[in-house]
Structure 1
Amino acid sequence: MTPETKDSLLFPRTNLAEGILVTFESRLQNAATIFAPRRKGKTTFLINDLIPIAKAHGFIVATADLWFDKAHPERVIAGALYEAIHGAGFLRRNWLKLMRPGSLVQSVEGGASTDGVTLKAELAKEGGLNLIELFERFRILGNGKALLIIDEVQHLASRKEFEDLTATLRSLLQHAHGEVFAVFTGSSQDGLHRMFRRTRAPFYQFSHEIQFPNLGLEFVQHLGQRFREITGREWEVNAAFERFAARGYMPKYIRDVFLLCLTEGLSVRDADHRAWSTMTDEGNFENLILEMAPLDFTVLIGLVKGLSVFSTEGREWIGSEMPGGHVPSAATVQTALKRLQRRDLVGNLGHGEWAIEDIAMEGYLRRNFVEIDPQLGTENDQ
């Protein structure tokens, strides 16, 4: 287990955390972006691997989860910096103060002179915390080893009113290059594209992107070993891994299966049904599908099948699945994708590539409409 970790089921990702930190310590990069769909264990990695290992390396760490208060991301970041400087518990004691009206930063300008880098900021008078002052104190306290982690960073691209904050944040990090390092994490491919990949994106080419790896068979074997240590019996590791893979490699799901097998003596098959029903509302998926236009649903299935939905081949396939067999134009496909995007079902990866955002939804579509497998269908497991 990693430092400060007491979770006996945790499968550490020590190498990933160490790999990120060594690039910071050697000054090879100043920022990293970790993308992982929801339920992939990203937050667990931050809490149990990256943060404690960073602290063990001598970093001072500030962690801001922008979903903690979606309306006021600047206050979440300021609160995280203050807590890193002054100790744990600050947010719980002072959140009402942070909720006072007004932005923390109105504008920021940066420049260089013979005296070094300078920042000129116009600060709002009503702010509960001064973001730029806190960042500077954080930089000084870190003495070259300050780490700012911003979780769900794509939220900064969701509203126009966050643009000033985003520009301020980039300026602060640029001016503290080699002293304050950043790890951005996100669960929306579409949001990360708008933040990092577009030419005019606020953090374009600012950060090295890391695809968060799936846990594999070794994780399920680890759970099997714990099962044997606790019960003296063998766990159905192969059956569990089959379910784990089919459900999209979601660590929380397979941990729930493990605990049901352990505490209630269920088989993996029965535990799978219980755990999956608890995690996902497949009735909601059915309702979403019923509400969709036939074209939108067909385009969605095309993405699940891995088709290039703008290509001639992809559009011909879409036409073959539609009533009347009419082949849609690329513009018509684009319109369907935009409708799906507005419902947070798909994300634009750029260069004509699109992907489904919710891995649970993708798994449901794959299992019921692409690779139909009654052994994994919840309807037939009872």
Structure 2
Amino acid sequence: MSVDHWHFPRPVLAQEYIASFERGLSAARGLFARRRMGKTEFLCKDLIPAAESAGYQAAYINLWDNQDDPGSALVAALQQAASPKGVSKVLADLRRPVRKLKAGARLPGLGEGTLEADLGTEPGAPIPLLTQAMQQLDKKRKKLLLVIDEAQVLAGKKNSVFAHALRAALDIRKDFIKVIFAGSSETTLRSMFARPSEPFYNWAGLEPFQLLGYEFVQAMVHKVNEVTRKPLSMEDATHAFQELRNTPEFFRRFLNQYLANPLAGAASALDTVKQQVYGDQDFERQWQELLPADRAVLEMIAMGGKDLFGSEARTRMAAILGLDEPVKRSTPQNALSRLMNKNLVTRLEHGRYQFEDESFADWVRHRDT
């Protein structure tokens, strides 16, 4: 398996997660962080290897890649862990034409196994096949870590029946199947675990993912300075990290840009990346697809607006929409519902909202400048 030179290992954090399962007091944990913050990299390159070293086999599935049919994708990932040779039969039993499915399982002694197949839109039978996969896992009785990335996809109404079946299957196997629910939508994940009507109500504690900070920047600077004759200073690197909203993915773009042209300097590299981040993320397309009321709410949140339902806020929203009278309270309420359903904003507490993607917030703030 190739080594990622630019990966920042976090073995202590990974061991903390494994230890929490080994103590036997919980069988599932939920964690959230907005996209591009290093969550998936940690899960795949730190947590799963740590689990394998502790005697687990592991299955990883990213539901963002399988939003149309998360049930079938999860079944395939579990089947691959239970019996890698049986995956082709599962796909045949699902009777799916090829389109898109990505699932992964890392099996001790076999390295990393990855499944990519296509699932179309015809209805399949994931629940009976889920039962089959679980029965095969029962026979092996080997500890399994199931990592469900972008797990908020399961909260969709169309996935409710499968989600109930999945919980029931996991409920009776807590002694040997441990689950990480990870996602980028705090609002949806909280709903998954906090609403009595949801299949996974009270099934896992939800916590913020521990974000990368100074030590990460320091390690990356050290790596950069190993391969360049023009050293990058910690001051310039820390400034860039902060300007890029402490986002590891964007910071690595900055490092790449700096290494591509070190003589131009850190400031030039930062300017280039900021233009890419705020210009190449397809924000304009997202903006144009929104209703005018949704755009108005985003503008107010981006500019620091908190009370979106008061008279002043509704007057401000009316002005943005070109109306003479304040909008009704239902206008921002409906807009917020749509925006949260699209994972564009999240609710921090009553009356306080923020963008899921801070880069989008910056784009909205500066779109007319």
Asked if these proteins are the same fold (TM beyond 0.5), I'd say yes
Change (3 A) 1:351 1:203: farther
Amino acid at match of 1:81: L
**Mapping 1:157-196, distance limit 5 Å:** 157-158=155-156, 160-196=157-193
Aligned equivalents of 1:163, 1:317: Cα separation in 2: 36
Check the 8 A contact 1:75/1:129 in 2, yes or no: no
1:153 aligns with 2:148: no
| Inter-partner Cα distance in structure 2 for 1:32 and 1:308 | 31
Say which SS state the counterpart of residue 183 (structure 1) adopts. Answer: strand
Residue 95 of structure 2 corresponds to residue 100 of structure 1: yes
> Residue 224 of structure 1: SS of its match in structure 2?
helix
Matched, 1:231 2:228: yes
Name the amino acid aligned to 1:248: R
AA at the equivalent of 1:137: Q
Residue matched to 2:346:
347
Q: Report the TM-score, using the length of structure 2 for normalisation.
A: 0.79
One-letter amino acid matched to 1:156: L
Amino acid at match of 2:244: R
CA distance in 1, matches of 2:86, 2:39: 24
Structure 1 position 45, deviation (Å): 0.8
Aligned to 2:363: 364
Separation in structure 2 between the aligned mates of residue 231 and residue 284 of structure 1, nearest angstrom:
33
Conserved 8 A contact 1:148-1:181: yes
**Cα-to-partner distance string for 1:262-313 (whole Å, 9 max, x where unaligned):** 133342232234334445546843565567666544432443355432464x
Q: Establish whether residue 319 from structure 1 lines up as the match of residue 337 from structure 2.
A: no
- 1:118 maps to none
Report the residue type matching 1:271 in the other structure. Answer: A
Residue equivalent to 1:20: 17
Kindly state the Cα deviation for residue 346 of structure 1 after the two structures are TM-superposed: 2.1
CA shift, 1:194, in A, is 3.4
Point out the more displaced range, 72-81 or 321-330. 321-330
Change (3 A) 1:363 1:179: same
Q: What amino acid is the match of 1:173?
A: L
Q: Which runs of 5+ in 2 are unaligned?
A: 98-122
Q: Retained in 1: the 8 A contact 2:192–2:201?
A: yes
Q: Give the CA RMSD over aligned residues.
A: 3.4
State the partner residue of 1:334: 333
2:269 to 265, 268, 271: 271
Q: Which amino acid is 1:60 matched to?
A: Q
* Structure 1 pair 282–125 and aligned structure 2 pair: CA distance change class (3 A): closer
Partner of 1:210: 207
* 1:49 corresponds to which of 40, 46, 49: 46
- Report the more deviating stretch, 327-336 or 27-36: 327-336
Superposition deviation, residue 209 in structure 1:
0.9
Percent identity of equivalent pairs = 29
Equivalent residue, structure 1, for 2:110: none
Question: CA offset at residue 204 of structure 1?
Answer: 1.6
The answer to whether the Cα contact below 8 Å between 2:127 and 2:162 also exists between their aligned partners in 1 is no
Q: C-alpha separation between the residues in 1 aligned to 2:127 and 2:96? A: 8
Q: CA deviation at 1:125?
A: 9.3
In the TM superposition, what is the alpha-carbon distance from 1:184 to its structure 2 partner?
0.7
For structure 1, the residue ranges without an aligned partner over 5 or more in a row are 103-123, 373-378
Query: d(CA) in 2 for partners of 1:14 and 1:219?
Result: 13
- Structure 2 counterpart of 1:333, which letter? P
Deviation (angstroms), 1:69: 2.9
Aligned residue type for 1:45: F
> CA separation in 1, counterparts of 2:288 and 2:59?
44
Task: Give 1:132 shift.
Answer: 1.4
**What is the distance in 1 between the residues matched to 2:48 and 2:8?**
15
Structure 1 residues 196 and 304: alpha-carbon distance in aligned structure 2, compared to 1, 3 A threshold: farther
| 1:61–1:149 CA contact under 8 A, matched in 2 | yes
Residues 218-227 or 357-366, more deviating: 357-366
SS in 2 for 1:67: helix
Q: TM-score, normalised by structure 1?
A: 0.76
Task: Spell out, residue by residue over 1:49-101, the C-alpha distance to the aligned partner (whole angstroms, 9 max, x if none).
Answer: 110011111111111222333322222112111222335x976x678536515
After superposition, the C-alpha distances for 1:162-221 in whole angstroms (9 at most, x for unaligned) are 211100111111111222111011122343233223232221211011211221122111
